[in-house]
Every structure is written in C-alpha cells, then in structure tokens.
C-alpha cells in the first residue's frame, strides 16, 4: 500500500515527532510541504493521503484515481472537496477535539496578558523601572481582575465548553452564543448582539461557515463596550480584518487577541499587524508538544481503524 504525507512540517518543527509510525501500513513518501501545483504529482497512484492544509480539489481527485482515503492532521476539513470525495468513494477522516485544552489554555494566556500585563511589567523591570521606584511596589500600568467580568463565548463545542469551565474558576459570568441550543447548559444562552452588548471579553470558538465568515465586523463592534476585548482562536476568516483594525485604531474597542488570520502565513501588509492594542500569535494555540502527539495518535488510529474495516471520525 502506498501512503503519501503532503505537509509533515506542519506537525513538527525540530523533528520531535516522526512520520515513521505510518510505515506499519505500507510504503510512505513524506514531504515537508506541498504546493498546489505539485499535489497531484506527489499523490500519484497512492491509495492513502495524509495532510493538514493542502487543498485536495476536484481536479486533484480526478488526477489521482487510486486515492481511497484522506486522513487529516486537523479538525477542519474545508481544504478538501468533501462532496466530490464522497462521489468518488474516497473516505475522509479528521481529528476532532485533540486541541481542546491547548486552545482553551492559549485563550486565557492571551486574556491574562491583557488583564495582568505580565510582559509589560517584565520589560519594565528589565529596563530598570522598578530599581528607580520610590515605593516597594511599582504599578504604573493599569491591570484588572477577571473576577465578576462577563465572558461571551461564541461557539459551544468542546473548546467553548473548556473555556467556560476555566472562566468559572476565575469567577467570571459566562454567556453563550451557539448555533443549536445546548442541553443542560448552566450558562445563559443569548443572541450574538446580546452577547456583544454585555461582554467584557468576547471569545470565538465557532466553525467557519457562510454565516460566520466576517462576523467580527463593524456591525458587531458597534454593539460592544469600548472597554471590551475580542479574542479569536477559531478561524481567521471570521474576522473582517480591515474593519477590526480600524476599530482598534479608533479605540472603538479596547483590544483584540488573535491566533489566526485570514491569510497564513501573515501578509506583510495585513492591517492588523501594527493595529493598536492587538496581540497576534502565529496560529500556535494548538501546537503544544502533548497536543501534537495526541493528534498524531488520532490520525494513526483513524487509519488503522479504516484499514480494519471499522472507520472512525468520518466527515463524509
């Protein structure tokens, strides 16, 4: 059996993980990255394709008639033509919920950076500001408690639920906006507008759909407090980047923390790059070593289950 891995370098930075585990199933051809024009040629007559972000389009599927299975090193599968894959009897399996705790942790790491200003105070100490302080305690940069603040969570899947649980530990008030009304939800479920109007922090954990594309825009921001913070660790395209940058620069909201952008890697002229009070991390919320090991295990088990006739985590 021929197996091709198209973008292994999205899984490992310093070779701390190995693709050799897949050799159990057959001959493995592994590529660091694959550009769109090279994808069909590299897949060739392989039956198994493993990838993260490489686009598997209708055209590529037509050029690779031996393809039977696509395994994703990801939860999202918008890079695959799912409908056409189904038509051609190609099974697609993803890796759901592998990054829940890592992304929830990253969400609060960004929130705490804004509320506690750890890096700002660390830089102040390194620059000698505390040494010259007249008092034992030096606090010229205003910080705030999360206690009793309102957190709006857009999307109540596994990550949204984990974020809500952490918020509870901080004594925050939680409001939920979600597509379907959740059963036994201990939090207030409300419209997106009500969430925006009441939240001190609004964090996005929703999938990218036609309805959520560009949802962080002038209309939403017009409902928010000027002191509010936006956090997005979901998909970059849920943000209208020009409108968010303008709102930040005009101080219509207090700040934004983003782990994802519409175009990745980041374009040098992205309007959010130098926007006021905007923290950006390079799509790294999911990247803890433990998280990537878990992801590798899921992709391995998905393929093993498929080959034994008991497929799991199917998306088509």
| Alpha helix positions (H), the chain | 36-43, 58-63, 82-87, 100-116, 118-126, 158-169, 192-198, 218-221, 241-249, 289-307
* Long-range contacts (CB closer than 8 Å, 24 or more residues apart) made by 82-85: 82/315, 82/316, 83/316, 84/58, 85/56, 85/61, 85/316
Provide the sign of the torsion angle of the four alpha carbons 162, 163, 169, 173, taken in this order.
negative
Which of 235, 243, 292, 294 is labelled catalytic?
235
Tell me, rounded to whole angstroms, the distance of Cα 155 from its chain centroid.
Answer: 12
Active site (annotated) includes residue 308: no
235 is known as an active-site residue: yes
Say how many C-beta atoms besides its own lie within 10 A of residue 161's C-beta. Answer: 18
Select which of 223, 276, 283, 301 is catalytic: 283
Cβ partners under 8 Å of residue 33, min gap 6? 6, 7, 9, 10
Write the CB contacts of 290 (distance below 8 Å, at least 6 apart in sequence): 102
Residues in the chain: 316
Q: The tokens of 198 are what?
A: 């009441």
- Find the catalytic residue in 83, 87, 145, 264: 264
Catalytic-residue membership of 37: no
Q: What residues act catalytically?
A: 235, 264, 283
């Amino acid at each position: 059996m021929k197996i091709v891995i198209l973008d292994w370098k999205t899984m490992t930075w310093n070779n701390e993980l190995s693709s050799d585990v897949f050799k159990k199933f057959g001959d493995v051809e592994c590529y660091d990255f694959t550009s769109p024009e090279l994808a069909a040629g590299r897949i060739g007559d392989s039956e198994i394709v493993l990838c993260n972000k490489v686009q598997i389009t209708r055209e590529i599927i037509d050029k690779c008639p031996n393809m039977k299975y696509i395994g994703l090193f990801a939860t999202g599968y918008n890079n695959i033509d799912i409908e056409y894959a189904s038509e051609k009897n190609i099974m697609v399996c993803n890796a759901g919920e592998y990054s829940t705790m890592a992304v929830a942790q990253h969400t609060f790491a960004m929130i705490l950076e804004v509320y506690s200003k750890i890096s700002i105070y660390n830089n102040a100490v390194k620059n000698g500001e505390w040494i010259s302080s007249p008092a034992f305690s030096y606090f010229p940069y205003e910080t705030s408690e999360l206690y009793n603040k309102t957190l709006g969570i857009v999307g109540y899947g596994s990550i949204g639920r984990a974020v809500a649980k952490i918020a509870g530990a901080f004594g925050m008030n939680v409001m939920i906006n979600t597509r379907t009304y959740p059963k036994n939800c201990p939090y207030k479920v409300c419209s997106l507008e009500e969430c925006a109007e009441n939240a001190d922090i609004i964090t996005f954990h929703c999938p990218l759909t036609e309805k959520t594309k560009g949802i962080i825009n002038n209309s939403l921001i017009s409902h928010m407090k000027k002191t509010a913070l936006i956090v997005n660790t979901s998909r970059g395209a849920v943000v209208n980047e020009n409108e968010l940058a303008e709102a930040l620069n005009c101080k219509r909201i207090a700040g934004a923390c983003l782990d994802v952008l519409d175009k990745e890697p980041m374009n040098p002229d992205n309007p959010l790059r130098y926007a006021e009070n905007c923290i950006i991390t390079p799509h790294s919320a999911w990247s803890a070593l433990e998280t990537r090991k878990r992801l590798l295990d899921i992709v391995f088990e998905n393929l093993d289950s498929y080959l034994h006739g008991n497929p799991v985590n199917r998306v088509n």
